[in-house]
Structure 1
């Protein structure tokens, strides 16, 4: 595969990811077993699409699925830091347990915005299921709604990572693993 040449190192292989996804889905299934509220998985577009598909296929409970998109806006190529919901849910989440499925959490700004948005829609709880947690870059404290939980696939070092849905300039999403992109590819 030509894209492989752009990867400095592989952090998590396809097998590593599959094992961890199965563990996360099992934990989510156990945590919500017997709940009187419906369960909704909300993928954060676009990076979480592969992770979302793999997780929900392994959850052993009835579950609805939807997507949401939050974008920074501002002039030029620089983000203003402000976020807006550019594509909202079709599913009504009022009174339901929502699991926000994200590819990577770094600053936490996007998740903070999305959690507040879901809370305003009446979700009974908001949990986060992130493939990667890049805590070294966190700028805000994540406050989960109701009895929300934080499910984490892997703790990620502060590298520029791609693959398994994550991109640089819309490329590399199709890599079956998570790898560190060579700096010359993005600088």
Structure 2
């Protein structure tokens, strides 16, 4: 059973931070070809809001990945379940994620795209849990740092539920 405990990040704080990130990305990439790559499914809500805050045309694509391992150890192995359709050679890539905790998946993806010919690869997340970081990965555009709590809403789920909540909630799970 899942129980919503409390709102951790209200809708207005999310909206304000997305606007700030969009302005920062717009300044950094103005006049360059930028492709946003959202990591499904969680990043879809954030990416839709973020791309509307960027002030120049951008390309978009999505990918789905799975990380395998057991609860005792994290293997860091990443399986690409849906790859992008876009040719990224010679282009700037911005990986868009809902939440970064261990950083293992994003480290792998960053290396994958650089090895595939991307001009640059940076990471943007709306939620960041650096207390759980296992991989040394730079998050160039970090939205809101959160404590080590299980959260849902704004694209994040528990058993495919709660993604549609407009704010981020802490949940108790059993």
Q: Same fold (TM over 0.5)?
A: yes
Segments of structure 1 that go 5 or more residues without pairing to the other structure are: 144-148
Matched pairs, number: 171
Contact preservation (8 Å) 1:70, 1:114: no
Runs of 4+ in 1 over 6 A off after TM superposition: none
Q: Give a deviation string over 1:128-187, Cα, whole Å, max 9, x none.
A: 1101110000001015xxxxx6101100110001100000111110100001012xxx22
Bigger relative contact order (CA 8 A; separation at least 6): 2
Alignment check: 8 A CA contact 2:68 2:78 kept: yes
Structure 2: any 5+ residue segments left out of the alignment? none
Change (3 A) 1:140 1:74: closer
Is contact 1:9-1:179 (8 Å) kept?
A: yes
2:169 is equivalent to residue 175 of structure 1? no
> Which whole-Å deviations, capped at 9, do the CAs of 1:57-80 have from their partners, x for residues lacking one?
1101110000011112469xx975
Superposed CA offset, 1:3-48 (max 9, x none): xx9321111111111111011001000111133xx10000001100
Q: Secondary structure at the match of 1:42?
A: strand
TM-score normalised by the chain length of structure 1:
0.86
Aligned with 2:86: secondary structure?
Answer: coil
What does residue 65 of structure 2 align with?
70
Matched, 1:10 2:26: no
Q: Secondary structure at the match of 1:11?
A: strand
Q: Secondary structure at the match of 2:24?
A: helix
2:76·2:105 contact (CA, 8 Å) conserved in 1?
no
Q: TM-score, normalised by structure 2?
A: 0.92
Match of 1:163 in 2: 153
Decide which of 131, 134, 138 is 1:136's aligned counterpart. Answer: 131
The structure with the largest strand share of the pair is: 2
